[in-house]
Chain A
Amino acid sequence: MSNSSRHLSEWLRKLFSELQKYEPHRARFIARIAGDRIARVGLDDEFARITFKNEKLSVRKVPSLGRDDLPWGQTDTATVLALLSGYTALSDALAEGTLELQGSTEDVVRICHIIEVLVDASTRIPAMQQLSAELIDGWSPAPARQQLKMRSASKQQLRDAEKALLNRERL
């Protein structure tokens, strides 16, 4: 991961431990959402295997996302930073393939729900916000900002073309 010497697995452990410390009921809620499921997550070239045992988080470094049926999610640091800085929307990251989620519908919904609980709790837990600040520190938003401009211009072009088509067809 850029901007930090922490491995992805360490980030995940740290995030969850801060949640356990300050809002333990939400940490238990996340464990219940996950149940006995296993998932893999990848960020750049770092991968981790995540599961819960008796409501305790277990995170292991793994060499890849694997080729089995376990659900997985993958993205890169640039996308995470662009999301955190409001230059990319989640829908754009998914549509452009810079963030991928793979699994059954139920698995993907549960992964998203866990992320939602974590991010919501982070607004009340300064230690989690500090982890995010460490990730962003030193990052240049210029490329993401340029991408947002291009994406906005592209969407406007599509809208203009659609309007022209509708006008031509008198619709």
Chain B
Amino acid sequence: MGDPQAAAYKDWLHLNLFLPDEGIVALVNVSLHGPASDLRSRVVGVALAAGADGVWYGGIEITDFKSVTIESKGIYLQTVSLGATRTDDALLACIRFSGDGLTADIRANPCSQSFTHETRFGSGWIGWSAVPLLELDGSICIDNKIYSLSGAFAYHDHNWGRWFWGEDVAWEWGAFVLPDKTVAVFTRATNKAHRHLYPSHLVLVRGNSSYVFQPGQVNVSLNGRMRGVQRRLPGALATIHADRCHPDLPSVVRIRGESALASLQLEFVGNTAAQLIVAEPTRPGTAFINEIAGTCSLLAIVEGTQLAAQGSGIFEYVE
């Protein structure tokens, strides 16, 4: 009420799961697009999981505000839900895309500090609060095979703000999970063509310690080209945007960070990509969120200690 930018309202909860021993990367996302007062506004729930074979299982549910339960820390659709426990000590997620080969019951317990950032974005702004590392419990069933989540890790964030899909704004974001409770998170805003690059943000989390790299301390290069996108959702929008079925996605991402306390070199190699097509519900406009799942290797020196590790990650390239 009284928000002059209400038409541009966006809000979502996001969770990535990493099972490196199985070569599995998954994502769960529940989101609100547009103000609740507008009947055209949509609630979107998506859950996807990719294995080493590169096939994406899962699906998408798009519905109206009246058909879901929305709480201050959770969004609950029929096929996918994500929200905090009542005691606020963990995240719970539920996936029921059984027809699409993906179901899961997930508990994610934070084991790192969180950080929050707000910045101007397009015609409005975006807020980002992330918990880079969570320990998982529960199970996930992919194509009739059940995997325990015990010992696996996750990344979580909450994004909110005011902008319209289709504006000349986009971003690059990645979360890379490695052994010994180590995770690197990178992001930077861009324009749609990724020619205009805004300052980069990089943080390395190791257990309870976080090492933040300032924009001038980060170098990123995108290399190679992914061989197309394996799954595009929702299908109707994929059909009328056939020109975007082979986007120019990097197959290798190299990130370097250098600060007084830490230095890192991370190389991410993409294995498979899926594309989520988001349409602005109250006016024409579309964005393409490309999710690239793959493996990563890290070389770092943290407070004098050398690290060399391999893990898995996800890189998001939005157009």
Contacts from A to B (Cβ < 8 Å) = 82-91, 115-116, 119-120, 122-126, 129, 132, 140-142, 145, 148-149, 152, 159
Contact = CB atoms under 8 A, between A and B. Distances in A.
Contact of A86 (B39, B55, B64, B233): B233
Contact of B232 (A82, A86, A125): A86
Contacts of B238: 83, 86, 89-90
B279 A141 contact: no
Given A91-B245, A141-B100, A126 B236 contact: no
B99 A83 contact: no
Interface string B28-41: 00000000000110
A123 B62 CA distance: 10
A141 B100 CA distance: 6
A148 B274 CA distance: 13
A85 B100 CA distance: 9
Q: Is the interface of A mostly helix, strand, loop or mixed?
A: helix
B239 interface: yes
A124 B281 contact: yes
A126 B245 contact: no
Contacts of A124: 40, 279-284
Contacts, number: 77
Contacts of B101: 142, 145
A86 B227 contact: no
A148 B55 contact: yes
Interface string B99-110: 111000000000
Given A126-B40, A152-B230, A83 B100 contact: no
B54 A119 contact: no
A45 B62 CA distance: 30
Contacts of A126: 39-40, 64
A91 B242 contact: yes
Contact of B245 (A89, A122, A125, A159): A89
B250 interface: no
Nearest to A156: B54
A125 B40 contact: yes
A132 B54 CA distance: 29
Interface in B219-234: 227, 230-234
B161 interface: no
10 contacts: A84-B234, A84-B236, A86-B233, A119-B237, A119-B240, A124-B40, A124-B279, A124-B284, A152-B54, A152-B55
Interface of B: 39-40, 54-55, 57, 59-60, 62, 64, 99-101, 227, 230-240, 242, 245, 279-284
A126 to B, nearest CB: 6
Given A86-B233, A125-B40, A126-B64, A119 B227 contact: no
Nearest to B274: A86
B100 A145 contact: yes
Given A141-B99, A152-B55, A87 B235 contact: yes
A85 B237 CA distance: 10
Nearest to B40: A124
A-B pairs, 4 with minimum CB distance: A123-B279, A86-B235, A86-B233, A84-B235
Contacts of B40: 124-126
A88 B54 CA distance: 16
B170 to A, nearest CB: 19
A123 B60 CA distance: 14
B237 A123 contact: yes
Contact of A132 (B57, B236, B245): B236
B282 A140 contact: no
Contacts of B59: 85-86, 141
A88 B242 CA distance: 12
A111 B64 CA distance: 30
A148 B60 CA distance: 17
A140 B282 CA distance: 31
Contacts of A129: 62
Nearest to A123: B279
B210 to A, nearest CB: 37
